[in-house]
Structure 1
Amino acid sequence: MPWQYVPLLHHLEALYQMPRNPERFRAYLAKMLNAQGDDLDLVPLVAANPMAKEHALEYVQRLLAMDAEALAQTAMEEATGQLPPVQTHLKVSLTVLDDAKGGWTNRFTTAKGWWGHSEHELQNTHRYAWVSIPCWTSEEPSPEYIRQQTRLYLYRWVWLYHQPLPKTLREILVYEGQALAYAGVAQRLDAEELAYTRAVLEPHLDSTLYPTLLVALEGDVAAKALGYEPLGLSPKAGLALALAEATIPNTG
């Protein structure tokens, strides 16, 4: 059951060194798609902004300078001995997502796990068997950030290889909480705010409505950005509650 780390940041660096014109976009498509142009080849490039501005190139180069891909590979290798095996050839790559100065990627709808996907989308995720580890241009890159992101997204992927797709808020809180705990994310809410968040979410635990789920996890900032009904929650309050209540991570 080999897990393979595939370096891709050099592709983004070369892309972002090109002028921001149609030729760059054609180069992006040529790199992302297979030779026939009818299927994906380098899956993690899908969410990258091909027309990102100069800050994206600077971010990619900062990652390369700190040897981020070696850090991600080390985190992946650790996970292979900690997470249940998957009977497929799993590829893992860092990619860069621009939530700082571009409109290509929405942070709230992209940063979540696969819980908002349809069964068909989940089948495609398994078919490609490629885990994209996002590095967000608004986040300060560091070795610990790379490690956490790698562990978080690997855990999410392996969970959904072995477990049913979580659909209710109750199920998603378990899924996200265990992933965050495995990643080593620090708790950010005090006991009083956790109690408040728990009380706000209690009536919604069996909800499967996407706007409710997203705002419950990400807070009212997501509601404001996307035009959803607010719940009176601070940023990422639901995720903080999920982490606080997480049991020992287990995907088996």
Structure 2
Amino acid sequence: MSERTIALVTGANKGIGYEIAAGLGALGWSVGVGARDDRRREAAVEKLRACGIDAFGVPLDVTDDASTAAAARLIEDEAGHLDVLVNNAAIAGGFPQEPTRVDPATVRTVVETNVIGVIRVTNAMMPLLRRSAAPRIVNMSSSVGSLTRQAGPAAEQTTGPIAVAYAPSKSFLNAVTLQYARELSGTNVLINAACPGYVATDLNGFRGVRTPAQGAAIAITLATLPDDGPTGRFFDDAGQVPW
């Protein structure tokens, strides 16, 4: 089997995910572009290849068991192992999201992608990650996932508007990250949550103040941690973020 360093980035056809794939590819890695939209996925792969990156498409709907299993088989056939998994795919769920007005189905849909999708993909890829000498998992969270920041007096300025589906989904993801870290303690698998900052993407109507490339930087840092690096933590560019 190939000894290439292999990464899979979910939701990598655009925005932060694309820039994470580009950044890891610039290291000389082979990068799987995970996305459910065939046209956008292949366009992203072509764009990355035009930049000299060893990219390959991975059809992947993180909400679907069969799709996720097929993605794992594709990477098995492509490389036989996986070194880095970046769980980036996420949805906002539409607004407004005030708790007293939200449709419970919206919350369910957001959690299905942003949390259960991460569990589904991580578990499908875990056998491949265990074959790596230095497996790393990065879960893309958000500043809104910090309960400490949400509860602060400046919550509106630091975490944006009330969002009972999206924000708690990221808090849930942080909690899930901790549980994986507990289970994987003592192994060589390092798993952390990443906060990209307020990035201008279609998820927020491009209202963010950071570029996707800036938002991708922390994921690339966590994807390339040394063997004695941290696990079960939450980081942004400035350092550790309070849960």
Would you say same fold, with TM above 0.5? no
* TM-score under structure 2 length normalisation: 0.30
* TM-score under structure 1 length normalisation: 0.30
Higher helix share: 1
Higher strand share: 2
